[in-house]
Every structure is written in C-alpha cells, then in structure tokens.
Amino acid sequence: MRTNLFIKVVVEHDPKEEPERLGAELCRQLERNYIVRDAELASFARVED
C-alpha cells in the first residue's frame, strides 16, 4: 500500500540560503532516514516578518 502525505514545514534560515536547497536537503533526509520511497519539494512561499 502507498500513501501520499502532504506536510507543511516552516523553517527559519539565513536570507542568503536558498529555499530550494533547504527543501532538497529535507527530501534527502526523509528518503535516507524514514523508509520514504520518494520526496520532492513541490513549492515554497517566502514569509516576510
């Protein structure tokens, strides 16, 4: 059985760091550490404080 999980993750990061890079690293960690078959960054939205 397969299940798609949609998870919202909010991260604080240095303005110089690219959101795409953060998302890619999170996906790699999920695939490596948690029997995740596939993970991808679908989109991101910057939040101004």
* Residues with Cβ within 8 Å of residue 9, at least 6 apart in sequence: 26
Domain extent listing, the chain: 1-44
1-48 pLDDT tens trace: 888 888 888 889 999 999 999 999 999 999 999 888 889 888 888 887
Lookup: tokens for 12:
């604080």
Lookup: tokens for 7:
């998870």
**pTM recorded for the entire structure:** 0.74
| pLDDT score, position 2 | 81
- Number of alpha carbons in the 13 Å side-chain half-sphere of residue 3: 4
